[in-house]
């Protein structure tokens, strides 16, 4: 199944049914009075979280949804039937935005969580509602109100506790396959990973966490190079980032410079994500002779001017790595178990802290990241639209003969 993490849809709620104008007319009953019933409410549209889904691909093929309108009221004080609601299933981690105003409408994070995205119209009133002591035969009714019409933009951000950062071939896919049951494609060429992968890491008998592997970044990714930074949004919900540095790059590049490239691209994309807690993980230790490993690590630390692994050489505000450094080999398994155990302990400690922050309203930072990532997506879409329009204008300037000059010839009689 194709992985799609963005989709635009149009939702239209049903109109409320009109009220009925009717009077009771029966044999032997004079002046029966009004008996026009109310209309029914229009159907509403909801988005519902479904843990079995992991893509928005269905909404690329069916982008329009319209709920049924309520029926009009009838005589004998009969109320019209309500329009059926529509429930659209979306993956957990889907953010909802109004595509016209950019307003953030909500976030589907839990199984079977429902978010109302289009309110159905309210029912109209029949003439029986207007009966009074001074108006015994009202001929007034009220029509039903129209339902809401919205153009929505859905953005899926995978729910994971830990995210992996690094250049292509830094060992991200190998690590996730070594510590979980995930089996991403692994090869010795860049951009083997084209879509994000999720893996569940089990620690002990009753603890586990979810780790996310995204396609590698390269220099200029924030400007569209390589696969760009379109998948970085999936790291916005993580609690911890692991920055993987290849100790023995295939292309002979400098690991320190590779580290700085990722940090710069991350800061260009989102300040909120760039400020997330990050641990340094040195990978592929099996490719370094044991006698040279300590020297190699010491050289990298010295080049980064690491003091308790706080990065001081980068010209990025608020960019730092926490007091954690690991050396692993995902192929041999060396160091991976210790890394996973420490991550689980750290996440357990975070739970209490996050509960306190949520109670005090400090979790607004996560909402700011969501809006920041969405704004970046909108800016990139506008840039693509501008480039497309520019090409169309350039094509219109060319005449049909294919040369570079547009010549208009006037013939005089």
Per-residue pLDDT of the chain (413 residues; tens, 9 = 90+): 456 778 899 999 999 999 999 998 888 887 788 999 999 999 999 999 988 887 888 888 889 999 999 999 998 889 999 999 999 999 888 888 888 888 888 888 888 899 999 999 999 999 999 998 888 889 989 999 999 999 999 988 777 888 888 888 888 888 888 888 878 778 777 777 777 778 888 887 778 888 888 777 777 666 666 665 667 777 777 888 888 888 888 777 888 888 888 888 777 777 777 778 888 888 888 888 877 888 888 887 777 754 333 343 344 333 344 456 788 888 888 888 888 888 888 888 887 676 666 555 545 556 666 666 666 666 666 776 677 677 655 555 555 544 444 444 444 44
DSSP state letters, 301-369: HHHHT-BTTB--S---TT----S-EEE-BTTTTBTHHHHHHHHHHHHHHHHHHHHHHHHHTTTHHHHHH
Helices (H) and strands (E) in the chain, counts: 7, 14
- The per-residue pLDDT for 275 is 78
Residues 6 or more apart in contact with residue 67 via CB below 8 angstroms: 12, 13, 14, 42, 43, 44, 45, 83, 84, 85, 86, 118, 120, 147
The domain tally of the chain equals 2
- Residue 372 forms part of a structural domain: no
**At which of 156, 184, 218 does a domain end?**
156
| In-domain check, residue 109 | yes
Residue at 324 is within a domain:
yes
> Do residues 218 and 248 both lie within one domain?
yes
- The residues, any chain, with a CB within 8 Å of residue 399's CB and separated by 6 or more, are 405, 406, 407
Tell me whether residue 368 is in a domain: no
What does the block give as tokens for 376?
């970046």
Quote the CA–CA distance of 88 and 281 in Å, as a whole number: 40
Query: What pLDDT, on the 0 to 100 scale, is given for residue 200?
Result: 84
Task: Establish if 228 belongs to a structural domain.
Answer: yes
Residue 282 CA to residue 297 CA, distance in Å, equals 8
CB–CB of 254/246 below 8 Å? Answer: no
CATH number at residue 19: 2.70.210.12
Is 306 in the same domain as 174? yes
Residues in the chain: 413
Structural domain ending residue among the three candidates 306, 336, 356: 356
What is the model's pLDDT at position 279?
86
- The 10 Å Cβ neighbour count of residue 259 is 25
**335 in the same domain as 263:** yes
What's residue 377's pLDDT? 66
| One domain, residues 37 and 151 | yes
Residues 271 and 180 in one domain: yes
What span, in angstroms and rounded, lies between the C-alpha atoms of 134 and 130? Answer: 10
Is the same domain home to 151 and 168? Answer: no
Task: Quote the CA–CA distance of 348 and 344 in Å, as a whole number.
Answer: 6
**171/144 same-domain check:** no
Residue 159: partners with Cβ closer than 8 Å, 6 or more residues away: 92, 93, 109, 210, 237
Q: In whole angstroms, give the CA distance from residue 23 to residue 35.
A: 5
Give me the pLDDT at residue 286, please: 85
Strand order in the sheet with 149-156: 64-66, 6-12, 149-156, 94-98, 104-108
Count of Cβ atoms closer than 10 Å to residue 385 Cβ: 10
Q: Which residues have a Cβ under 8 Å from the Cβ of 80 and sit 6 or more positions away? A: 17, 20, 37, 38, 39, 40, 70, 71, 72, 73, 74, 123
In this structure, are 326 and 194 located in the same domain? yes
Q: Which residues contact 385 (CB under 8 A, 6 or more apart)?
A: none
In the block, tokens 């930072």 appear at 365
pLDDT the model gives residue 216: 74
392 in any annotated domain: no
- CA 15, 16, 20, 21 torsion-angle sign: negative
The CATH number of the domain where 269 resides is what?
3.40.50.300
| Same domain for 203 and 128 | no
- One domain, residues 237 and 147: no
Domain match, 172 and 144 both: no
Q: How far apart, in whole angstroms, are the C-alpha atoms of residue 294 and residue 1?
A: 44
pLDDT 10s digits, 127-144: 999 998 888 889 989 999
Query: From its phi and psi, is residue 169 left (phi > 0), alpha (psi between -120 and 50) or beta?
Result: left
Alpha-carbon gap, residue 208 to 160, rounded angstroms? 11
Domain of residue 268, residue span: 162-356
Residue 394 lies in a domain: no
pLDDT of 362 reads 45
Same domain, yes or no: 152 and 166: no
| Structure token pair of residue 360 | 């005090």
Domain presence at residue 398: no
Q: What is the DSSP letter of 380?
A: H
Residue 50 and residue 90 in contact, taking contact as beta carbons nearer than 8 Å: yes
Q: Which of 156, 191, 208 is the last residue of a domain?
A: 156
């Amino acid at each position: 199944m194709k992985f799609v993490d963005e989709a635009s849809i149009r939702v239209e709620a049903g109109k409320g049914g009109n009220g009925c104008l009717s009077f009771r007319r029966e044999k032997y009953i004079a002046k029966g009075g009004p008996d026009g019933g109310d209309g029914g409410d229009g159907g509403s549209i909801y988005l519902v979280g479904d843990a079995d889904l992991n893509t928005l691909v269905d909404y690329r093929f069916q982008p329009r949804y319209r709920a049924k309108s309520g029926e009009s009221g009838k005589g004998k004080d009969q109320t019209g039937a309500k329009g059926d609601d529509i429930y659209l299933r979306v993956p957990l981690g889907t953010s909802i935005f109004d595509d016209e105003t950019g307003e953030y409408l909500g976030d589907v994070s839990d199984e079977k969580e429902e978010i109302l995205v289009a309110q159905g119209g309210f029912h109209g009133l029949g003439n029986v509602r207007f009966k009074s002591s001074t108006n015994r035969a009202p001929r007034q009714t009220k029509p039903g109100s129209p339902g809401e019409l919205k153009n929505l933009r859905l953005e899926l951000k995978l729910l994971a506790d830990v995210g992996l950062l690094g250049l292509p071939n830094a060992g991200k896919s190998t690590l996730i396959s070594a510590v979980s049951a995930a089996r991403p494609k692994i090869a010795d060429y860049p951009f083997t990973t084209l879509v994000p992968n999720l893996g569940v890491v089990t620690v002990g008998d009753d603890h586990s966490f979810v780790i996310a592997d995204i396609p590698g970044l390269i220099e200029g990714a924030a400007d569209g190079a390589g696969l760009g930074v379109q998948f970085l949004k999936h790291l916005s919900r993580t609690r911890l980032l692991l920055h993987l540095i290849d100790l023995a790059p295939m292309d002979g590049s400098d690991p320190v410079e590779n580290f700085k490239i990722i940090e710069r691209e991350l800061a260009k994309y989102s300040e909120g994500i760039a400020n997330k807690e990050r641990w340094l993980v040195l990978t592929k230790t099996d490719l370094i002779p044991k006698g040279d490993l300590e020297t190699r690590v010491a050289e990298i630390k010295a080049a980064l001017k690491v003091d308790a692994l706080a990065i001081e050489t980068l010209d990025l505000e608020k960019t730092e790595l926490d007091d954690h450094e690991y050396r692993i080999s995902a192929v041999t398994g060396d160091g991976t178990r210790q890394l996973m155990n420490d991550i689980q302990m750290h996440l357990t400690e975070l739970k209490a802290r996050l509960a306190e922050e949520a109670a005090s309203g400090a979790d607004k930072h996560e909402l700011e990241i969501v809006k920041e990532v969405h704004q970046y997506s909108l800016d990139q879409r506008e840039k693509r639209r501008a480039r497309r329009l520019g090409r169309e204008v350039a094509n219109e300037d060319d005449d049909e003969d294919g040369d570079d000059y547009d010549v208009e010839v006037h013939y005089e009689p």
